[in-house]
Amino acid sequence: MNSASLRRIKALCKKELTGYFATPLAYIFLSVFTMLSGFFTFELGSFFHRDQADLSAFFSFHPWLYLVLMPPLAMRLWAEERSSGSIELLMTLPVTTTEAVLAKFLAAWLFSAVALLLTVPIWLTVNYLGSPDNGIIVAGYLGSWLMGGAYLAMGSCLSAFTKNQIIAFVITLAACLFFLFLGFEPVVAALPESVRSLFASMSFLDRFRSISKGVLDIRDVGFFVLFMGCWLWATVAVVNWKKAEA
């Protein structure tokens, strides 16, 4: 990928990211994410009853929080473009399909990073109340962002299949739920023995839990990076297929 391609991706990513903040939905999303994060940490996570200054409760709810909030963010990446007809305008721009897919994904991923940054006051509160291991917390934030990217990359591909945003939301939700359930032993045990270890290794829960405990294993980080790369490659293929059909 040359410098001209990177400039085009950067320009389109900036345009897409700016577009998020041009609608009230973006601020609703950020507000809901921040409030639910605080509620799950201090109320459902029983933070003040555990007498332990850490963010383990905060991160333990992220896989489920993303399950609710990432599919709506992902469904607009391509389903909204196709339903509104703006995808035709997008494809007339001097960008390749790969550049468009990467730019739109990066904009959504950066938007999710903004949501995470808004939870920093929770981190500061924990430091005020105690002496947490901030290295573990940094690892947890990194793992959370990577997991969010995995949700979005998969949702990007699935949303490219349909013009209907509701359908895009439902199938993305189901797919995310599948990769979460792979972290539960009863689910894995129900799979054929020949593929059990393969599917278990793709569990979002297990990979994220390992990182959120401060264990930055290259295999866990690499899993999320490879997962995103595969789904983005698939998105390019689907968008090109749909474009050829039109």
Q: What is the pLDDT of residues 200-209, one digit of tens each?
A: 788 888 899 8
Confidence band for 128, pLDDT divided at 50, 70 and 90: confident
pLDDT score, position 192? 76
Confidence band for 156, pLDDT divided at 50, 70 and 90: very high
Confidence band for 236, pLDDT divided at 50, 70 and 90: very high
How far, in Å, CA of 106 to CA of 203, rounded? 23
Per-residue tokens: 17: 């990211």
pLDDT surpassing 70 at residue 45: no
pLDDT score, position 232? 95
pLDDT score, position 157? 92
pLDDT surpassing 80 at residue 124: yes
Contact 13, 110 (CB under 8 A): yes
Contact 214, 231 (CB under 8 A): no
pLDDT score, position 233? 95
- Average pLDDT, rounded, for the chain: 85
How many other CB atoms are there within 10 angstroms of residue 155's CB atom? 31
Percent of the chain residues topping a pLDDT of 90:
29
Residue of 212, 41, 230, 30 lying closest to 149 (CA atoms):
230
pLDDT surpassing 80 at residue 55: yes
pLDDT surpassing 80 at residue 139: yes
pLDDT score, position 150? 94
What is the average per-residue pLDDT within 207-230? Answer: 91
* Prediction pTM value: 0.90
pLDDT surpassing 80 at residue 188: no
**Which range has the worst mean pLDDT, 35-44, 52-61, 155-164, 184-193?**
184-193
How far, in Å, CA of 238 to CA of 167, rounded? 16
How far, in Å, CA of 184 to CA of 47, rounded? 25
Confidence band for 91, pLDDT divided at 50, 70 and 90: low
